[in-house]
Amino acid sequence: MPGEDPAPLTAFEREDEPYSAPEWKVIPSSGLIPMVETETEIEPQPAPDWKPTPTPIPARRPAGLPVLEPEPEQDPRPTPARGFDAVAEAVLAPATEGGGTDTASPFEADVARVNEAVKQGRIEEAAGMAERTVAQASASWGPEHPEVLKLRELTSYIAYLAGDPLRSFHLSLDLARLHRRLGDPGAAYGNVQSAAAAWRAVRDPLQGLHLGRDLIGVWTELTADEGPAAEDLEQLESARNRMGRLAERARSPPTTSPSWSSGTPGRATTPSTPWSRAS
């Protein structure tokens, strides 16, 4: 219609219009590139100055500061009770109702009565019952039966409680020799620990030296075998150190405290107590 603006062309109609090629500009060493009009020109930005990345310097340890070594991993296995500790655990354990079964020991009731007497502090009575039970069990099973050996360990422990360390020592050391001969180094080392406990209760230095030689002899033999004794040499070294202290005490004369007249005001008679210090 005259006087009206033409309708805008559609996308498909625009494709029929004559193609207008873009202008080209010659750039040295780049060939022809099209001239493209842009709304804004981007000003060139200067490149940042390059700086080398500094090398990190390790921290220096102050002079004189010791180097800490990593702690060794601890053995998760708990140390089993040995010697008199193991016997005491068996004594204090609650009694089991195993009587009347095929696997129950015929002396189980006797052992329970011995343990009960120990718990109640009737040590002399417990010692007598333990001696009789050992004699009966040895007659029935033989002196090297495992149950008989346990009863003998109990007898040694009761002798220690009764204040007879000499008897306890000999019983425990004999059991150590027997268990080693039977091929049980663990039980033998437990008996050595019991003998060592009784040995430490002996106050006379000369007697202690005599017993200590026998103890350390059996103990040293056990360290040659594979077993706990070979893994616990510090205990053996401690026993040898005690032998040195006993030797010093045996060479020194006993010291006696001066006796004061009872009639002197402010004075009292002090009894002599040689070898009163435990080693």
Model pLDDT for residues 183-216, shown as the tens digit of each residue: 999 999 999 999 999 999 999 999 999 999 999 9
Long-range contacts of 131-134 (CB under 8 A, 24+ apart): 131/155, 133/107
Cα separation, 130 vs 123, whole angstroms: 10
Tokens of 190: 């437990």
Residues 227, 232, 238, CA angle at the centre, nearest 5°? 140
C-alpha dihedral (186, 187, 191, 192), degrees to nearest 10: -20
Cα separation, 225 vs 2, whole angstroms: 125
pLDDT of 99:
47
pLDDT of 175:
96
* Statement: residue 26 has pLDDT above 80: no
CB distance 84 to 193 below 8 Å: yes
Tokens of 199: 């040995």
pLDDT of 246:
93
pLDDT of 255:
63
Pairing of strands 24-27, 31-34: antiparallel
* Statement: residue 274 has pLDDT above 90: no
Interval 99-125 mean pLDDT: 83
CB distance 222 to 185 below 8 Å: yes
* Statement: residue 37 has pLDDT above 90: no
| Helical H segments across 61-184, by residue range | 84-92, 108-119, 123-141, 146-161, 165-181
25 alpha-carbon distance from chain centroid: 88
Amino acid at residue number 260: W
pLDDT of 36:
45
Count Cβ atoms below 10 Å from residue 105 Cβ, excluding itself. 16
Averaged confidence pLDDT in the chain? 75
pLDDT of 53:
67
